[in-house]
């Protein structure tokens, strides 16, 4: 599983490892017949993709058949994406006084069981036939082991003192995602402003096996830390204050097997075999092997004086699949092809954002670090509206510019290995929460702020329209979409 955004300002951001085919959303979508009328690249005729009849599209308020977009059932699946296993969606929903973890059959929406709780719920994971739920109670952090088939409580862990970062109207995590390795559930949390820990619980009874401080962590770094199990190791990475601290722990004992600190770095795991560390301002990418921390390769794009030098406009990792990683950097306005940008903004020397020119895209081989391709787009997108996702052997780059009509987006599809343009579409509305699965691109979509929410399905190879489906009125704001 992979996600491009490593920010932890929202609760859902730390949950990206829970599902394979999910992309978190902003607002949504387009007037369909107008939105998909043009294609800049010639595409050879091909048959429509075959879509598995059992496959479903899950959103916050509805579950649809992936084959034709008809609604299977409607209901509240939660503001954060559920965790899916064995045809069942485990959803976390909330009222003003109570939360509930429910197991719902994806095919028909039937509720297999519900576990209700007065406390705050966090991420879950599966292990040894259990659904392990993290909760924040008055006494602290408590894990609950539930029988996956029935929802019956098998064990509750003892409470560990835990705190959350004080914020105003911002949801924050109280624990990292949960990782399962070698019979232990491992997670990170904060017991005080300046005290962050990794802790392991025995899966058999929920007892604490060990607890280890996160060395060099900034305040409240624990709950926003990343953890992933790689073979017989659990790898963690967290904010060290101007640097990222990465290391591996023995899940049996908590002993650290390797550790490194990288200045100004951001890390992400790719294809369960490599950790990619990107240093935005020094334009350096390093790949390390998670089992022992060995540096596998290091890559830098060709130096260019036109590149904007500072984060967040420096080198930025966008998305990855098993074989390739897509990076972006922004050049200045006068570096665009033909010596000019499409932007209508007058550059302000005191504001780098107003100097954004055309982005350079780089695709790098995930195994060797060799450059697969690079290209410059002849457009100056609005920086915070750029996103990317991957699937079906392609990278999809989504953006809007200040020259487009309000709420219009563009999606461009590039071959992941060659960089060849596959297709390009202007989208006449809000879009968000795209996901590519088995040759089909699914996207949440809304033509205007008062229009109903829809889902569109496109042939991922050609960009041709497959189907569209209305899923709700303007008040039913879906934050996510996933395929299962």
Provide the pLDDT for residue 48. Answer: 62
Residue located via tokens 């059992």 = 54
CA distance 204 to 223: 24
Q: What is the pLDDT of residue 40?
A: 35
* Nearest in space to 126 (alpha carbons), one of 82, 94, 75: 82
Angle at alpha carbon of residue 88, lines to 87 and 93, rounded to 5° = 150
Which residue has 């899940």 as its token pair? 251
- Dist. CA 129–CA 107, nearest whole Å: 21
Could you tell me the CATH number of the domain that includes residue 477? 2.130.10
Q: Hey, CA dihedral for 66, 69, 75, 80, is it positive or negative?
A: positive
445 in Cβ contact with 32 (< 8 Å): yes
Structural domain that includes position 33:
11-483
What lies within 8 Å, CB to CB, of 386 at 6+ separation is 318, 328, 359, 397, 398, 399
Q: What is the pLDDT along the chain (484 residues), one digit of tens a residue?
A: 333 333 333 333 333 333 333 333 333 333 233 333 333 333 344 456 788 889 999 999 899 999 999 999 999 999 899 999 999 999 999 877 789 999 999 999 999 999 999 888 999 999 999 999 999 988 799 999 999 999 999 999 999 999 999 887 677 899 999 999 999 999 999 999 999 999 999 999 999 999 999 999 999 999 999 999 998 899 999 999 989 999 999 999 999 999 999 998 899 998 778 999 999 888 899 999 998 999 999 999 876 666 666 656 788 999 999 899 999 988 777 667 755 455 555 555 555 556 677 888 999 999 999 999 999 888 878 777 788 999 989 999 998 877 777 678 889 999 999 999 999 988 777 777 899 998 999 998 877 767 778 888 999 999 998 998 888 766 666 779 999 9
The β-bridge partners of 470 are: 454
Q: How many domains does the chain have?
A: 1
Query: What distances in angstroms separate CA 479 from CA 132, 215, 321, 328, 449, one per listed residue?
Result: 24, 35, 23, 25, 15
Is 407 inside any structural domain? yes
User: What DSSP letter does each residue of 26-88 carry, written as one string?
Assistant: -S-EE-HHHHTS--SS-----PPPP--TT-EEEESSEEEETTT--EEEE----SSPPEEETTE
Give the DSSP letter string of 157-191. PPPB-------SS----SS---EEETTEEEEEEEE
Whether 406 is covered by a domain: the verdict is: yes
Cβ neighbours around 114 below 10 Å, total? 13
Q: What's the burial of 150, exposed, middle or buried (CB within 10 Å: 0-12/13-18/19+)?
A: exposed
Q: Establish if 351 belongs to a structural domain.
A: yes
Query: Which residues face 399 on adjacent strands?
Result: 410
Residue 173 lies in a domain: yes
pLDDT recorded at residue 51: 87
| Residue 39 within any structural domain of the chain | yes
pLDDT of residue 172: 83
Asked whether residue 50 is domain-assigned, the answer is yes
- Nearest CA among 371, 358, 277, 280 for reference residue 324: 371
Q: 187-205 in b/e burial notation, b at 16+ Cβ within 10 A? A: bbbbbeeebbbbbbbebee
User: Which token pair is 365?
Assistant: 């081989």
The verdict on residue 2 lying in a domain is no
Q: Give SS3 for 11.
A: helix
Residue 218 within a domain: yes
Closest by CA position to 4, among listed 439, 405, 325: 325
The pLDDT score that the predictor gives to residue 286 is 95
Residue 413: how many other CB atoms lie within 10 Å: 28
In 385-478, the DSSP E strands lie at 387-391, 394-399, 408-415, 421-437, 440-446, 453-459, 465-472
């Amino acid at each position: 599983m992979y996600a491009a955004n490593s920010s932890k300002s929202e609760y859902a951001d730390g949950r990206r490892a829970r599902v394979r085919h999910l992309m978190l959303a902003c607002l949504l979508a387009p007037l369909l017949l107008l939105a998909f009328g043009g294609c800049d690249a010639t595409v050879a005729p091909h048959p429509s993709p075959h879509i598995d009849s059992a496959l479903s599209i899950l959103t916050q308020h509805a579950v649809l058949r992936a084959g034709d977009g008809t609604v299977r059932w409607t209901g509240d699946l939660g503001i954060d994406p559920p965790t899916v296993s064995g045809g069942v969606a485990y959803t976390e929903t909330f009222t003003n006084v109570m939360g509930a973890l429910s197991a719902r059959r994806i095919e028909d929406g039937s509720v297999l069981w519900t576990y209700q709780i007065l406390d705050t719920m966090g991420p879950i994971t599966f292990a040894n036939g259990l659904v392990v739920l993290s909760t924040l109670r008055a006494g602290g952090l408590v894990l609950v082991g539930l029988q996956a088939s029935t929802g019956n409580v098998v064990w509750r862990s003892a409470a560990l003192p835990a705190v959350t970062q004080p914020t105003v109207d911002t949801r924050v995590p109280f624990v990292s995602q949960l990782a399962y390795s070698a019979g232990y559930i491992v997670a990170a949390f904060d017991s005080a402003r300046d005290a962050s820990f990794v802790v392991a619980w025995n899966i058999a009874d929920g007892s604490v096996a060990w607890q280890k401080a996160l060395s060099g962590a900034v305040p409240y770094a624990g709950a926003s830390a990343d953890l992933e199990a790689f073979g017989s190791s659990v790898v963690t990475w967290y904010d060290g204050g101007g640097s990222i601290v990465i290391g591996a722990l023995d899940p049996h004992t908590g002993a650290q097997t390797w550790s490194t600190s990288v200045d100004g770095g951001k890390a992400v795991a790719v294809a369960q075999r490599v950790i990619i560390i990107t240093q935005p301002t020094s334009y350096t990418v390093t790949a390390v092997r998670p089992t022992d921390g060995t540096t596998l390769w290091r890559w830098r794009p060709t130096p260019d004086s036109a590149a904007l030098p500072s984060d967040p406009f420096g080198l930025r990792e966008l998305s990855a699949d098993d074989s390739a990683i897509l990076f972006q950097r922004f050049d200045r306005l006068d570096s665009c092809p033909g010596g000019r940008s499409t932007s209508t903004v007058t550059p302000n020397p005191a504001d780098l954002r107003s100097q954004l020119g055309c982005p350079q895209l780089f695709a790098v081989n995930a195994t060797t670090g060799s450059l697969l391709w690079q290209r410059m787009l002849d457009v100056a997108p609005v920086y915070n509206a750029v996103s990317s996702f991957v699937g079906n052997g392609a990278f999809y780059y989504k953006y809007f510019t200040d020259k487009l009509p309000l709420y219009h987006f563009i999606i461009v599809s590039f071959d992941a290995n060659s960089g060849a343009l596959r297709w390009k579409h202007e989208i006449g509305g809000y879009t968000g929460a795209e996901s590519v699965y088995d040759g089909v691109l699914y996207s949440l979509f809304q033509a205007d702020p008062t229009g109903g929410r829809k889902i569109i399905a496109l042939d991922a190879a050609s960009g041709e329209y497959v189907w569209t489906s209305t899923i709700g009125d303007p008040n039913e704001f879906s934050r996510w979409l996933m395929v299962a």
